[in-house]
Amino acid sequence: MIGWTVTQWAWHRRSTLCRVTATTPGGRGAYHVKDVLMGEGLRFAENAVPGLLAPFLTGRPWDGRSPQGYASGHGRDLG
């Protein structure tokens, strides 16, 4: 994998769901994990390619209840 995209629409925010997309250099070019809980999706991405997503996450721990806690440019531990 060469990158990750985390997408969240208005209806996802209420239920803390998102779509995690893995970008690949070959094959289909992208693979989607649809309607996954935000915390689980971020952990999945971090476990698949350690360190790739971390620089884009906030320092605030992700608790799975709030849609905030990602995409600010500050690294954080997903453990």
pLDDT, one tens digit per residue, over 21-54 is: 999 888 888 999 999 998 899 889 988 988 888 8
Instruction: Give the CA distances from residue 50 to residues 1, 10, 78, in Å, rounded to whole numbers and listed in that order.
Output: 11, 29, 10
What average pLDDT does the structure give for the chain?
A: 76
Give residue 20's pLDDT. Answer: 93
